[in-house]
Amino acid sequence: MGKYIEMIRMRFLMMLAYRTNYYSGIFIYSINIGAYYFLWSAIYGGQPSIQGMTVEQMTTYVAIAWMARAFYFNNIDREIAMEIREGKVAIELIRPYNYLIMKTMQGLGEGIFRLIFFSLPGMIIVTFVFSLHFTTNVQTWSYFALSTVLSFIINSQINLLAGMVTFFTLNGEGLLRAKRFIIDLFSGLILPISFYPQWAQSAMHYLPFQAISYIPSMIFTESFTGNEAIKGMMFQAVWCVVLIVPIYLLWKAAKRKLIIQGG
Amino acid sequence: MYAIEVEKLRKEFKSYSSRSGLAGAFRDLFTRNYKIIRAVDDISFTVKQGEMVGYIGENGAGKSTTIKMLTGILTPTSGRVVVNGMNPHKERERFVQTIGVVFGQRSQLWWDIAVQESFRLLKKVYRVSDQDYNEHMDHVIETLDIGPLLDKPVRKLSLGQRMRCELAAALIHNPPLLFLDEPTIGLDVLVKLKIRQFLKEINEKYNTTILLTTHDMTDIEALCERVIMLDEGKIIYDGSLQHLKQNWGEGRQIHFQFRDMVSKEELTSLVHVTWEQGEDRYNWIAHVRTNDMAHVIGQVVSSYELKDIHIREVSTEEIIRNIYEEGIHHG
């Protein structure tokens, strides 16, 4: 276990080495949140609520969804693809650890870094500018924390899967881009799932994406409370477990197929 | 017990060839032409604990493929590999704990952060105790003279500095077996010497087995008593470097610098050996057997006025080149 914790620390240091990149990030996220804030305010107009969400819940949803994204988002899919392309996986295979767990830990190091240096200062800036509603309910906060950890796991698992597919295609740039877009759209980052047409909602119930952004954000805005919040987290937990199966199979197949390019 | 046991090891790759033209490209979508290339062809050898073996061959001879199978990165098509008493790909995590690997062309250190952070991570990864680490690595760091580099990020190091750090990183868990894939590529003479000196030292101190691939024959000469030579996936020579030199490097080259111009015919009629012209017609090189040396020099000195003369042993590099050009059986 020590080695995995060390890896989190390592990635944290790496991010720290390039911290200036992140100051501009805070700015960009704030602009994003601002744009959605005004967009939703305009859409609501005078209406007190749409689809059971008030305008305040909606704007808070948008803000928290973006800030949570900073935590669960990582580039390990791209890194895996790059390490395969450049043959660096070879080096990873001569180390006494599990490559995929190591990659996930790197993602976690990145996530913790962004949470501290990005989400928290960003959130403070945003609350000064816009009127958002943050609950003081401890239970909501702890549900949200747990739910965000689960969304990190699911997002990382999907990233591992996407990265590993490049073992077989050897160039997955288009695929990775499509995956990113699908996650932003179907996870509920741009639009809450409850705003989708009924058929799409039921289709998405069979997909893992809403576990990434929709569920934690709904919990935070207290649109999901009590049983509904528990049900949401169960949905996340089930996906965490289910996704292990394709990861395991794909990794086995990938190792068998491993061709180290350029060496 | 052997450190490495390899028996009838074979690795085949499928190599796809594409058909020409647009129609060909469409056909490739459905069925692709491929042929099977045998990168490593039924090789067998053993390496004893504590041996330093040079694994040499031209580009594409199958050196890297062999190393990748020995380290468990690639799975063999057929044959048996036992390294440190284990099957490398079956027991990967336990196995890699017992080997160290340096790929000269690929960094194992983390690019953006200080060297010591990489060391710290590897120490955790290989579960090295503080005591073992201090005892062993203090010495390694001192011998390789990398103490002042430890707090610098890897990207700021020169190639020679980085390579020394790579070597230290591969030795953190003090493995009994070390694979070095072109460790001195692109390094200057001083760094090369330092690295060789260091490798000899750890070999003596810990009885570390070292398998080394390189294109630099001086590395092999300095370090390895035994060489395994590979050509088109087959072992063409496995034995002592001394033996190779005796059989192939027998003879000397005598370089004469004459005061006046001479022709090949004149020289050949004087002494019947192979004459080769140097940079101009004042300079000639005689290829002679060691026993004939005195005779040839005597004849030349008594017939011509000379400005300079020197005698050279055939270098290992030339021996290797000759073997690849003419085949091993010639000697």
Domain ranges of chain B: 2-241, 250-313
Q: Which two tokens stand for residue A177?
A: 């881009």
Residue B251 has a pLDDT of: 73
CB contact, 8 Å: A6 with chain B?
yes
Residue B329 has a pLDDT of: 60
Query: Is the Cβ–Cβ distance between A121 and A24 less than 8 Å?
Result: no
Judge: A90–B124 Cβ closer than 8 Å, yes or no: no
Q: What CATH number belongs to B2-241?
A: 3.40.50.300
Q: What CATH number belongs to B250-313?
A: 3.30.70.920
Q: Which residues of chain A make contact with B172, given a CB cutoff of 8 A?
A: none
H helix runs in A138-213, sequence order: 138-169, 173-186, 198-204
CB contact, 8 Å: A14 with chain B?
yes
Q: Which residues of chain B make contact with A7, given a CB cutoff of 8 A?
A: 121
Judge: B121–A93 Cβ closer than 8 Å, yes or no: no
Judge: A96–B113 Cβ closer than 8 Å, yes or no: no
Residue A41 has a pLDDT of: 87
CB contact, 8 Å: A97 with chain B?
yes
Interface of A with B in 15-44 (CB under 8 A): 17-18
Most B CBs within 10 Å, among A11, A94, A103, A261, to test the B interface: A94
Give the span between the Cα atoms of A240 and A156, in whole angstroms. Answer: 10
Residue A217 has a pLDDT of: 93
Minimum distance, in Å, between the CA of residue A102 and any CA atom of chain B: 11
Residue A263 has pLDDT above 70, yes or no: no
Return the minimum-mean-pLDDT range out of A34-43, A77-86, A103-112, B21-30: B21-30
Residue A259 has a pLDDT of: 53
Convert the pLDDT of each residue in A152-192 to its tens digit.
999 999 999 999 888 787 667 888 888 988 998 899 888 88
Residue type, B144: L
Q: Averaged over A193-210, what is the pLDDT? A: 90
Q: Which residues of chain A make contact with B213, given a CB cutoff of 8 A?
A: none
Residue A262 has a pLDDT of: 38
Note whether B2-241 and B250-313 share their fold.
Answer: no
More confident residue, B101 or A91: B101
Convert the pLDDT of each residue in B198-208 to its tens digit.
999 999 999 99
Q: Which residues of chain A make contact with B106, given a CB cutoff of 8 A?
A: 87-88, 90-91, 263
CB contact, 8 Å: A129 with chain B?
no
Q: Averaged over A122-132, what is the pLDDT? A: 81
Residue A170 has a pLDDT of: 63
CB contact, 8 Å: A90 with chain B?
yes
Q: Which residues of chain A make contact with B108, given a CB cutoff of 8 A?
A: 91
| Minimal Cβ distance to B73: which of A17, A94, A97 | A94
Residue B33 has a pLDDT of: 79
Q: Which residues of chain A make contact with B94, given a CB cutoff of 8 A?
A: 96
Half-sphere exposure (Cβ direction) of B178: Cα atoms closer than 13 Å = 29
Q: Which two tokens stand for residue B12?
A: 């085949």
Residue type, B74: L
Give the span between the Cα atoms of B83 and B4, in whole angstroms. Answer: 5
Domain edges within chain A: 2-257
Give the span between the Cα atoms of A118 and A101, in whole angstroms. Answer: 25
Q: Averaged over A19-46, what is the pLDDT? A: 82
Q: Which residues of chain B make contact with A90, given a CB cutoff of 8 A?
A: 68, 73, 103, 106
A-B contacts at Cβ under 8 angstroms:
66
Q: What is the mean pLDDT of chain A?
A: 87
CB contact, 8 Å: A180 with chain B?
no
Judge: B73–A258 Cβ closer than 8 Å, yes or no: yes
Give the span between the Cα atoms of B78 and B7, in whole angstroms. Answer: 9
| Minimal Cβ distance to B125: which of A13, A91, A95 | A95
| Minimal Cβ distance to B120: which of A6, A18, A95 | A6
Residue A261 has pLDDT above 50, yes or no: no
Q: Which residues of chain A make contact with B74, given a CB cutoff of 8 A?
A: 258, 260
Q: At A17, which helix (H) or strand (E)?
A: helix A2-17
pLDDT averaged per 10 residues in sequence order, chain B, 331 residues: 90 81 82 84 93 88 88 88 90 90 86 91 93 92 92 92 93 94 86 91 94 87 90 89 78 86 85 83 84 85 88 78 70 42
| Minimal Cβ distance to B93: which of A2, A10, A96 | A96
Residue A147 has a pLDDT of: 95
What does DSSP say about strands B234-240 and B252-258: parallel, antiparallel, or unpaired? unpaired
**Least CA distance to B154: which residue of chain A?**
A14
